[in-house]
Structure 1
Amino acid sequence: MNIDRRRALALFGFGGAGAAGEAMAATPQGLHAGPARFDHGVASGDPLSDRVILWTRVTAPDAKAPVGVRWDVATDPAFKNIVKQGHATADASRDNTVKVDVIGLKPATGYFYRFRQTVNGKAVGEAVVGRTRTLPVGPTKDVVLAVVSCSLYPAGYFNAYDAIAKLPRVDAVLHLGDYIYEYGAAPDQYGMASPTAKTRIPNPPHELLSLADYRLRHAQHKSDPAAQAAHARAPWIVVWDDHETADNSWVGGAENHQPATEGDWAKRKAAGIKAYYEWMPIREPVAGALPEASWRGFQFGDVATLLMTETRLTARTHQLDYSHHLAGADGKPDFAAFAVKLKDPARRMMGQGQEQWLAREVDGSVKSGTAWQVLGNQVVMARVANADLKATMGEPAFADLLAKLPPYLAKAVEQSRALAAIDTPSNLDAWDGYPADRQRVYDIFKASQARPIVLSGDSHAFWANELWDDAGTTRVAAEFGVTSVTSPGYSDYLPGAPIGKAFVARNKEVKFTDHAAKGYLLLTLEHGRATGELMAVSTILSETYETKVLKRFVVTPDGEGGVKGLAEG
């Protein structure tokens, strides 16, 4: 399957964690005594005001033998003031990863942590060290978050991660999904046309299906120096999107999963989720809970409530598709019938349980006087109709563009332009494909008079959007969409085309969008303003790069609830 071609068309259209201890526990017996390494670095995540997850992975000559590990948490980089410590065991049941939920920490405090191997109860060898931070409680001046998504290994160097690692301040890193991709290393696979692919070959070289496959791909990403540096810099708060399992996944399957040749979807999904929990610094699900139900909240003092949602694997209805759902009985496009299908209230992104949780959390945040309600969300929420490049470029320039494109891509651009004339969504896999469910989220915001900021990934583009309700009379939220770390977007397929300008011209809710830049979003939240800086790296084809602010936007709260429009800062 030619993934680059298919993805270009798509653009148009368990186990428990290691226990935390107040004091050091006895080292288990029968552990591996040979030298072990920490080749995959360290990470921390899911910070709360009194606790944080610490993570590492042990590499030993005998991968099947358990390895003892000691962890320490200190207030200084020399580890002279150790405040927490304990032992854990790495074993094959969790791919030799270690995850510790350290409790009893102080709020709004920076810590250093380290892991070392233990032999006969004593720590030996070199330590692997990271930095983390707990969340504030009560009055808080500001919060600084770095936001990323979509890190396709063969497509380029993870310079956005490296840039985040070098920030003078970052309280937490949010990863909004597609931390890994499931594709293989064949020449026609997604990302393999990049000049960097020859030295960044996916491991394993085939599409991910088994638990062993997903583990190897996570290990490859954690072996990347830039990824290791960013993980060691600050705590991460993460959510999966589709590629942690398979492209365009939904509750019952995925576009990139063929049961006839790739087996049972439930088994593949379970493998992807298990590897994710093993390899990511995310708190383990509570006993009896579905691993897929990963929605959870984080309170940053009185400045922000961050609510991380799950819109892929627990309730999402199968995506509509123009090629399959637009044709009427006579084979001709039936836009009226398609609109009825699209607006069906039964089409869901979130299930009822998650929706009720979101309503409670948003309402509680507003009533407690928290300045901002921030939604950590995988896909773009704004209404984004197909853009008309011909109208934006003019007919001669548009004709010249089409002449330079391969036939399949020229056809897709023409079809997108035709769909633009009838106000159809550009991406049915985003919230645009589930408008009734989106309005239910907006009703939650409006009922609580929230001041929402929606953060979105997936699209491989920067966005600054104003979100309006279905009636188009009430602005309910601001949205910042973050571009990819490396994954290709529209501009990679249509270099030089004024794609952002065309989307802005076509869509009321889109105030700015850029489909060429790679990088991250730097979000600074204060009581009277939220500043989103779209941070672009100059290249992903070389490890030598520069970083610049592509655009800066400021959001201010509305005195009656809600937010005012985006202002360019």
Structure 2
Amino acid sequence: MTIDRRKVLGLLGLSGAAAGEAAAATVKGLHDGPVSFDHGVASGDPLQDRVILWTRVTAPGAKLPVGVRWDVANDPDFKTIVRQGHATTDAGRDHTVKVDVTGLKPGTEYHYRFRASRAGQPVGEAVVGRTRTLPTGATKDVVLAVASCSLYPNGYFNAYDAIAKLPRVDAVLHLGDYIYEYGAAPGDYGMNSPTAKTRMPDPPHEIVTLDDYRRRHRIYKTDPMLQAAHARAPWIVVWDDHETANDSWIGGAENHTPKTEGDWATRKAAALKAYYEWMPIREPSAGALPEAAWRDFQFGDVVTLLMTETRLTARSQQLDYETDLPIVDGKPDVAAFVAKWKDPSRRMMGQDQERWLAGQVGASVKAGTAWQVLGNQVVMARVATPNLQKTMGEEKFDALVAKLPDYARKRVAQSVAMSAYEIPSNLDAWDGYPADRQRVYDIFTAAQARPIVLAGDSHMFWANELWNDGGDKRVAVEFGATSITSPGYGDLMPGAPIGEAFVQRNKEVRYSHPSAKGFVLLTLEHGKATGDLVAVSTILEPKYETSVLKRFVVTPAAGGGVEALKEG
């Protein structure tokens, strides 16, 4: 496939200075009407000497560019301002502002604010946040909050509020599904929730156009709990599928119908333009495609964080059991499916990203960095379909199934039948691309890395040990973050021992929780890393409590790799 970079950048509106940093003095006229900051602030992509600052101005009726003043200070009262400047924005980027502030000190907490600017002077109330640059050299520890999957109508963003209230968090990693593309019809995803009536997605239809995607980002960032989490610490983000459309891949998506929804490239470009406008992510570098969002972050000598992109740059179309598992003489032809499934040409990452990953992992190990952490969208462990009937016993299982709606009863019956075979439960995860996964494991092994893989997408908590294809070497561990609000298997079948069934069925799965909502709090030190699976008590009302469901500790193994997960 030939990609015209100039055409793609033009569609995205990124061919010029898209970050809204044009000096106010260069603009002949500025909007002089009322301005507010209804969508809060955010910071992101921190480096040792810089960080992205973001906001969005609400300026009703503004036809001229809007001026904004930004300040960065060492103290919350802004008595010691270390950097400041002006920016402008307009409807061409949905009145969002993004500033890449440079000249900062490493490992330092800063406070920042935005105010409206007129005639070069700040006016009106300020909107404020705090952020932090990355440390250099010898570093004691690093604390990361890991989040994923926030479905607006399905519940309150209590987990975001819990992140905002953490006594310490150096950065928030969001691994995708920050927004969802579905509409607000009664049968749409999440609209059967008791909270849906007061948390209606906007627009009320499935989002397809640039205006649609912008409106969906807007409604999300009106949420006060999400605003608080953004204002608390810098975010490091990557999209998964729902920022474009469900189960997206390089050439389309499960939830994209060209006949009624138009060209996939146009829809994808609209989604990415809105994403770059509304998220605190650094703009694409010169010569890079916007889809190529992989990048690295160095937290002193403790962590090399490698954020990957596995949706839009190289992913082959997902296999599907209904179409790719043939039935011969009334029985599934598993051998024919396995031949397709293990085809080495099926990719999650392209060669460019794979080379980048190998170079970064190798350099990190040579530099003596304690941990190599992969920020990744989907679960990497081998997870075959569990046999819930076997785990529960036939009588209890039958009683459970009898209470389910027809569509759910059919899915559960299919899962029991599939559990007889050594094939994946989720073909959209790394399990659907085993040859490409092994290439990643080979990179880890060749470098003698000490990898920790982070995953989102599944709406479940996971603590997994990752083994090579031969099953004779543990190469990494994986912590899977459950959703902020999106429903999981446990919501479909409350009380069923689904997590236990996954553990019983799969060597690599040490722990799984199918219904809790929350985030992973990962604390990394020299010699050990601790993963706390933090749950909120409810998403159906804004009053909640938090608890640590499980704590796992991992230590590095001699000669690379990691030791077994231990409960802490």
Scaled to the shorter chain, the TM-score interval is: over 0.9
Aligned to 1:560: 559
Q: Is the 8 A contact 2:49 2:105 kept in 1?
A: yes
Residue 395 of structure 1: how far off its partner (Å): 0.5
Per-residue CA distance 1:208-234 (angstroms, 9 max, x = gap): 000000000001111100000000000
Aligned to 1:35: 34
Distance (Å, rounded) in 1 between the aligned partners of 2:24 and 2:180 = 38
Alignment CA distance shift 1:541-1:19 (3 Å): closer
Paired amino acid for 1:61: P
Paired amino acid for 1:249: S
Aligned residues: 554
Residue 328 of structure 1: how far off its partner (Å): 4.4
TM-score (norm 2): 0.96
**Where does 1:37-52 land on structure 2 (aligned, <5 Å)?**
37-52=36-51
Residue 180 of structure 1: how far off its partner (Å): 0.1
Q: Is the 8 A contact 2:130 2:232 kept in 1?
A: yes
Q: Is the 8 A contact 1:146 1:172 kept in 2?
A: yes
Q: Is the 8 A contact 1:374 1:453 kept in 2?
A: yes
Q: Is the 8 A contact 2:20 2:96 kept in 1?
A: no
Q: Is the 8 A contact 2:240 2:457 kept in 1?
A: yes
Aligned to 2:162: 163
Aligned to 1:223: 222
Q: Is the 8 A contact 1:552 1:568 kept in 2?
A: yes
Distance (Å, rounded) in 2 between the aligned partners of 1:108 and 1:496 = 45
Distance (Å, rounded) in 1 between the aligned partners of 2:92 and 2:207 = 19
Distance (Å, rounded) in 2 between the aligned partners of 1:225 and 1:381 = 33
Aligned to 2:254: 255
Alignment CA distance shift 1:18-1:266 (3 Å): closer
Paired amino acid for 1:94: R
Per-residue CA distance 1:8-55 (angstroms, 9 max, x = gap): xxxxxx42344769xx87363300011200000000000000000000
> In the alignment, does 2:488 pair up with 1:489?
yes
Paired amino acid for 2:491: D
Aligned to 2:209: 210
- Shifted more, 28-37 versus 476-485: the winner is 28-37
Q: Is the 8 A contact 2:303 2:524 kept in 1?
A: yes
Distance (Å, rounded) in 1 between the aligned partners of 2:543 and 2:26 = 44
Distance (Å, rounded) in 1 between the aligned partners of 2:20 and 2:66 = 15
Per-residue CA distance 1:362-406 (angstroms, 9 max, x = gap): 000000000000000000000000000000000000110111111
Q: Is the 8 A contact 1:259 1:265 kept in 2?
A: yes
Distance (Å, rounded) in 2 between the aligned partners of 1:63 and 1:194 = 37
**Where does 1:38-437 land on structure 2 (aligned, <5 Å)?**
38-328=37-327, 332-437=331-436
Residue 330 of structure 1: how far off its partner (Å): 5.8
Residue 177 of structure 1: how far off its partner (Å): 0.1
Task: State the secondary structure of the residue aligned to 2:380.
Answer: coil
Task: State the secondary structure of the residue aligned to 2:25.
Answer: coil
Task: State the secondary structure of the residue aligned to 2:33.
Answer: coil
Aligned to 1:3: none
Aligned to 2:8: none
Paired amino acid for 2:245: A
Paired amino acid for 2:506: N
- Shifted more, 356-365 versus 325-334: the winner is 325-334
Residue 411 of structure 1: how far off its partner (Å): 1.5
Distance (Å, rounded) in 1 between the aligned partners of 2:327 and 2:90 = 56
Distance (Å, rounded) in 2 between the aligned partners of 1:63 and 1:456 = 41
Task: State the secondary structure of the residue aligned to 1:26.
Answer: helix
Q: Is the 8 A contact 1:20 1:86 kept in 2?
A: no
Residue 64 of structure 1: how far off its partner (Å): 3.3
Per-residue CA distance 1:229-255 (angstroms, 9 max, x = gap): 000000000000000000000000000
Residue 150 of structure 1: how far off its partner (Å): 0.1
Q: Is the 8 A contact 1:27 1:87 kept in 2?
A: no
Distance (Å, rounded) in 2 between the aligned partners of 1:336 and 1:403 = 33
Residue 468 of structure 1: how far off its partner (Å): 0.1
Residue 287 of structure 1: how far off its partner (Å): 2.2
Distance (Å, rounded) in 1 between the aligned partners of 2:101 and 2:329 = 63
- Shifted more, 437-446 versus 285-294: the winner is 285-294
Aligned to 1:10: none
Aligned to 1:467: 466
Paired amino acid for 2:251: G
Distance (Å, rounded) in 2 between the aligned partners of 1:496 and 1:370 = 42
- Shifted more, 26-35 versus 174-183: the winner is 26-35
Aligned to 1:476: 475
Task: State the secondary structure of the residue aligned to 1:223.
Answer: coil
Aligned to 1:7: none
Per-residue CA distance 1:416-466 (angstroms, 9 max, x = gap): 111111121000000000000000000000000000000000000000000
Q: Which runs of 4+ in 1 moved over 3 A?
A: 16-21, 24-27, 328-332
Q: Is the 8 A contact 1:177 1:240 kept in 2?
A: yes
Percent identity of paired positions between Structure 1 and Structure 2: 74
Task: State the secondary structure of the residue aligned to 1:245.
Answer: coil
Residue 157 of structure 1: how far off its partner (Å): 0.3
Aligned to 1:9: none
Per-residue CA distance 1:336-387 (angstroms, 9 max, x = gap): 0000000000000000000000000000000000000000000000000000
Distance (Å, rounded) in 1 between the aligned partners of 2:210 and 2:407 = 35
> In the alignment, does 2:535 pair up with 1:531?
no
Paired amino acid for 1:334: D
Distance (Å, rounded) in 1 between the aligned partners of 2:509 and 2:195 = 33
Per-residue CA distance 1:232-286 (angstroms, 9 max, x = gap): 0000000000000000000000000011111111100010000000000000001
Distance (Å, rounded) in 1 between the aligned partners of 2:186 and 2:491 = 17
Q: Is the 8 A contact 2:21 2:98 kept in 1?
A: no
Distance (Å, rounded) in 2 between the aligned partners of 1:20 and 1:62 = 22
Distance (Å, rounded) in 2 between the aligned partners of 1:555 and 1:63 = 54
Aligned to 1:4: none
Q: Is the 8 A contact 1:54 1:102 kept in 2?
A: yes
TM-score (norm 1): 0.96
Distance (Å, rounded) in 2 between the aligned partners of 1:131 and 1:330 = 64
Q: Is the 8 A contact 1:27 1:120 kept in 2?
A: no
Distance (Å, rounded) in 2 between the aligned partners of 1:493 and 1:63 = 46
Per-residue CA distance 1:141-184 (angstroms, 9 max, x = gap): 00000000000000000000000000111000000000000000
Aligned to 1:5: none
Q: Is the 8 A contact 1:176 1:238 kept in 2?
A: yes
Task: State the secondary structure of the residue aligned to 1:416.
Answer: helix
Paired amino acid for 1:396: E
Q: Is the 8 A contact 2:455 2:480 kept in 1?
A: yes
Distance (Å, rounded) in 1 between the aligned partners of 2:198 and 2:182 = 16
Distance (Å, rounded) in 1 between the aligned partners of 2:322 and 2:430 = 19
Distance (Å, rounded) in 1 between the aligned partners of 2:278 and 2:364 = 31
Residue 63 of structure 1: how far off its partner (Å): 3.8
